[in-house]
Amino acid sequence: MLILGIETSCDETGVALYDSAAGLLAQRLYSQVQMHRDYGGVVPELASRDHIRRVLPLLDETLAEAGRGREAIDAIAVTVGPGLAGALLVGAAIGHAIGYALGKPVVGVHHLEGHLLSPLLAQPAPRFPFVALLVSGGHTQMLRVGGLGDYALLGETVDDAAGEAFDKTAQLLGLGYPGGPAVSRLAEFGSAGAYALPRPMLHSGDLAFSFSGLKTAVLTAVRKIDSTCEQARADLARAFVDAVVDVLAAKALTALQQTGMTTLVVAGGVGANAQLRARLRADAQARGHEVFFPPLDLCTDNGAMIALAGWAKLQRGGASAGGAFAVRPRWPLEQA
Ligand code: KG4
Ligand code: ZN
């Protein structure tokens, strides 16, 4: 079965063709980062307008790379939430129009289900059940994944997401938007322990997270350092990354302990973070656990994960009927 995946929930336009037997055939991604950079964050209206320009050319390129025609598509999967309402509407409208034109079913996908299943696009793929640590720009959640469609929330952030904290720290350090990768690179040159930053909720005993206090602590520290001193900035970036990684790794271990599981899956943009990957790999090895990450290019938003999640949803009868559709900017994953 050949599934077309379309992702437009935020500032990346992703299109992919996933074959349920052969795997990912081709994918194309257009990032709007350059366009939003001047504003220091995503401008929703600009995002929507740009998605309109990108989807169909990306679709043509993806089909060409896969060597398939539009008529080969068996179903269309499109992100319908959570995300920016206007941006979601663009993808949903185009996806449904293609479905109508081709006479093929359309399935509305939950963006986080896409992230959650993205490690299944790598080899070796994790086996169910597993604990998933979902760390993106908008969400930080710990989930128990029993199987396709069986997702239970174990804990989540009470304020900012981990990716948001990375982006705000990047801004404070003058690294631009979005700054996760830049903070990570700068931290490589920093010395551990040069600054003491809080590890919010590290000992809360539950699987909740909080990152807004950490952001404020970075702000306070930034005001005290000589911003022209590259080493001081690197030391502060290092302190921030160490604090985030400490919390995420500790909570992941707690989740494995509490559920009695031995497999951890990490997904979402922050899952691309080198320091987090290294720490979780080391922790897992020390305890005999297994840890899985999506391929680096599938950590951040993309159409491939949406095609895969669409296929999973079709297996449980999730295609929408009659051509009517709606988007859900806010949508708990358990209801997907
Ligand atoms: O999953 P994603 O592409 O979009 C959302 O669904 O939110 O995640 C984007 C987030 C941004 O906050 C970005 O700064 C962060 O992931 N990110 C990283 C890295 N790559 C992306 N954070 C830390 N280290 C990275 N290497
Ligand atoms: Zn995402």
Structure confidence by residue, pLDDT tens digits, 264-311: 999 999 999 999 999 999 999 999 999 999 999 999 999 999 999 999
Give per-residue pLDDT as tens, 18-47.
999 999 999 999 999 999 988 988 999 999
The domain segmentation of the chain, as residue ranges, is: 2-116+298-335, 129-293
Confidence of residue 335 (pLDDT cuts 50, 70, 90): confident
CATH code of 129-293, in short, is 3.30.420.40
Residue 335 carries which DSSP code?
G
Whether pLDDT at 212 is above 90: yes
**Ramachandran category for residue 203: left, alpha or beta (phi over 0 → left; psi -120 to 50 → alpha):** alpha
Percentage of the chain with pLDDT > 90? 93
Continuous segment of H or E residues that includes residue 162: helix 162-172
**Overall pTM > 0.85:** yes
Q: What pLDDT, on a 0 to 100 scale, did the predictor assign at position 321?
A: 63
Read off the pLDDT of residues 166-209 as tens digits, 9 standing for 90 and up.
999 999 999 988 899 999 999 999 999 999 999 999 999 999 99
SS3 9: coil
DSSP-derived letter for residue 125 is: P
Cα–Cα dist 308/117, whole Å: 7
Q: What's the gap in Å between 163 CA and the centre of ligand 1?
A: 5
**Measured in angstroms, how far is the CA atom of residue 13 from the centroid of ligand 2?**
11
Mutate to test the pocket of ligand 1, among 157, 166, 172 (most ligand atoms within 8 A of CB): 166
Q: What 8-state DSSP symbol labels residue 209?
A: B
Domains 2-116+298-335 and 129-293 share a fold: yes
The values of phi and psi at residue 203, to 5°, are -105, 25
Ligand nearest, relative to CA of residue 114: 2
pLDDT in tens, 86-130: 999 999 999 999 999 999 999 999 999 999 999 999 999 999 999
Q: Which atom of ligand 1 is nearest to the CA of 139?
A: 7
Q: Which of 2.160.10.10, 3.40.462.10, 1.10.940.10, 3.30.420.40 would CATH assign to domain 2-116+298-335?
A: 3.30.420.40
CA of 136 to the centre of ligand 2 (A): 6
Looking at ligand 1, which atom is closest to the CA of residue 137? 7
* 322 exposure class (CB count in 10 Å sphere: 0-12, 13-18, 19+): exposed
- Nearest CA among 188, 211, 175 for reference residue 278: 188
CA–centroid distance, 217 to ligand 2, in Å, is 26
* DSSP-based three-state secondary structure for 82: coil
- Which atom, in ligand 1's list, is nearest to the CA of 179? 14
